[in-house]
Amino acid sequence: MSRPSPEFDLDSALHHMRANFIQCRDFGHSWRPFTATWDPDYNVYKTALRCSRCFTKRFRDISRDGQQLGNRYDYTDGYTLKGVGRMTGEDRDHLRLESLTRILTHPSHDHQDAKTSALPRQSGASKKGHAA
């Protein structure tokens, strides 16, 4: 998939994304049963799950034997980042940091400070080669 234009700022887009969307992207969706019906025309069960956090819906076709034949998603408005395509590993790193800043216990830190100052630090005594 194509990457966004150079002017696209992923950190800014993530910073403005709703917290429940960030959490679903970081932790995974919290799926709950929504509907299930039998479709005799296609000889499949049609099921829908809905995320209790972001309300995305997942639709699945399940065979009579329980095999998942296919699925698709209906994302809530604002969940997808327009023009980004599939997120890279580095993109996901940025997403995890944004998720952390949303749940830090020190909300007085600004976004950039929280990324650096809230990280665990080694004490001088525990550094390799230094006496206690």
Question: What size, in residues, is the chain?
Answer: 132
Average pLDDT, the chain: 80
Please tell me the predicted confidence (pLDDT) of residue 111: 52
Amino acid at 55: F
Between 75 and 84, the more confident residue is 75
pLDDT of 6 over the 70 cut:
no
**pLDDT score of 73 more than 50:** yes
Query: Does residue 62 register a pLDDT over 50?
Result: yes
Q: Spell out the alpha helix ranges (H) of the chain.
A: 10-15, 19-27, 89-103, 111-117
**pLDDT in the model for residue 9:** 80
- Which residues lie closer than 8 Å to 18 by C-beta, 6 or more apart? 54, 78
**H or E element in which residue 63 lies:** strand 57-63
Distance separating alpha carbons of residues 16 and 32, to the nearest angstrom? 27
